[in-house]
Structures are given as C-alpha cells and as structure tokens.
C-alpha cells in the first residue's frame, strides 16, 4: 500500500500541470469514483422482478349435442361424448320403436355437433314407411326433406333415378346431413342443369 502511495506522489509531482489544474483533476477523479461506487452499490441491491408467463387455459371439447327425432322412444336433444356414433345417439333416446326403418342410416357413422338423426316411423300395420315413386308423386305436395327422404322418395323428383337417388343416400350416410340443398352439387352425377330441375322441391 505504501509503495502505491509513493508511486502516486512521484507521478503527481512530475505532472506538468499548474496547481489549479491539479486540483480540478483531483475533483473530477473524485466525482467519477463516487459516481461509479454509487451505481455499483445500487446495481447489487436492486431487486430483480421475475414475471411469470401467463398461462392460457384452453378448454377442450369433450361432448357433442345431437337432436334425435322420429321413431325413437324418447325424441329430444342429447349430449354425448365426442366421437360417439349414430347408434349411440339412438340408444340415448331409448332406441327405436318397433317397426322403425334404419336401413338408410349408417349406424356406425361418427356424429357431428349440432346435427339431427331422424328415424323413419313405421306405417300402419307395422311396415316401414316407404312409398313407391308413383305414390310419392301423388302424395308429396310440399318440399321433400333432403336429410330425411328415402331413396324411393328422392326418385319421385324429376331427373333423379334409382342410381342417383342411391348416390345421394350414400353421400348422406358417409358425410352426414346436407347443410344446404346446394350441397347436392357435391354428389357425383349432379350438375348445375340437373340440380336446377328439382332444387325448388327440396329443403334441408
């Protein structure tokens, strides 16, 4: 320590500054040292605030809602676990009534949220409700429900034969109910011209 002071005094005495300049230099050095010490002390004592990232909870969908109508014991709206199938919706409604026709329904299809599963009721005498194209033309006066009509009922429309009617029913089984009548254009064999022949006679 003494050697450092001796070296400093020797160096200080050989500086070619005037006395006022030396005093100014000492004052400036003292200010620099004091300022540095202040920031060092302040930096070591300053609290560091750690902000935890905000976690956003995403609620997963675990249920779907389906309307089960027609020839079931307890028609109504039911909530089922996601990935439930049509047969699960029918059983939730108490199963079908005796004589109900499910031949046009894909019972293994996974149901979509908000859709309707419709079961055709039996005719009087217990037979399933199906009519020939000729009788359908005579009886059906209003629009035909695209999501409920059988293949035979669809055949009553102009421009739709057995093959095209079967395609419509098959498309409905695989993809679920039609959302709009215009969705018929997605069925193979139905173009704009043919669609124009019967679009006014259908509803979803």
Whether residue 30 lies inside any domain: the answer is yes
| Residues spanned by the domain of 36 | 2-45
pLDDT tens series, the chain, 204 aa: 566 656 666 655 666 656 666 677 667 677 766 776 666 656 555 555 656 556 555 556 689 999 998 889 999 999 999 999 999 999 999 999 988 878 777 888 898 898 888 887 876 544 444 444 444 443 445 688 888 888 888 988 888 888 898 899 989 888 888 888 899 999 988 888 888 888 888 888
Q: What's the CATH code of the domain at 165?
A: 1.10.150.280
Give me 52's structure tokens: 């935890």
Q: Is residue 179 part of a domain?
A: yes
CA 196 and chain centroid, separation: 33
Tell me the pairing of strands 116-119 and 76-81: unpaired
- Matching residue, tokens 């299809």: 109
Cα separation, 182 vs 180, whole angstroms: 5
With H, G, I as helix, E, B as strand and everything else as coil, classify residue 176. coil
Q: How far is CA 127 from the centre of its chain?
A: 41
107 is a domain residue: no
- pTM, 2 dp: 0.43
| Residue 135 placed within a domain | yes
> Tokens 């540095």, residue?
36
Q: Is residue 93 part of a domain?
A: no
Domain count, the chain: 2
Query: Is-contact 115 87, C-beta < 8 A?
Result: no
């Amino acid at each position: 320590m003494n050697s450092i002071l001796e070296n400093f005094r020797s160096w200080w005495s050989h500086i070619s500054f005037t006395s006022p300049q030396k005093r100014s230099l000492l004052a400036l050095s003292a200010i620099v040292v004091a300022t540095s010490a202040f920031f060092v002390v302040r930096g070591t004592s300053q609290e560091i605030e750690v902000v935890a990232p905000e976690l956003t909870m995403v609620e997963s969908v675990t249920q779907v809602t389906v309307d089960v109508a027609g020839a079931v014991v307890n028609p109504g709206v039911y909530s089922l676990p996601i990935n439930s199938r049509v047969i699960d919706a029918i059983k939730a409604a108490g199963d079908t009534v005796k004589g109900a026709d499910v031949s046009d329904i894909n019972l293994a299809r996974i149901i979509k949220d908000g859709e309707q599963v419709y079961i055709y009721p039996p005719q009087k005498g217990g037979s399933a409700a199906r009519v020939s194209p000729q009788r359908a033309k005579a009886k059906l006066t209003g629009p035909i429900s695209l999501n409920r009509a059988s293949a035979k009922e669809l055949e009553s429309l102009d421009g739709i034969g057995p093959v095209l009617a079967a395609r419509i029913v098959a498309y409905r089984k695989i993809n679920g109910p039609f959302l709009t009548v215009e969705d018929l254009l997605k069925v193979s064999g139905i173009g704009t011209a043919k669609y124009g022949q019967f679009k006014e006679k259908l509803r979803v």
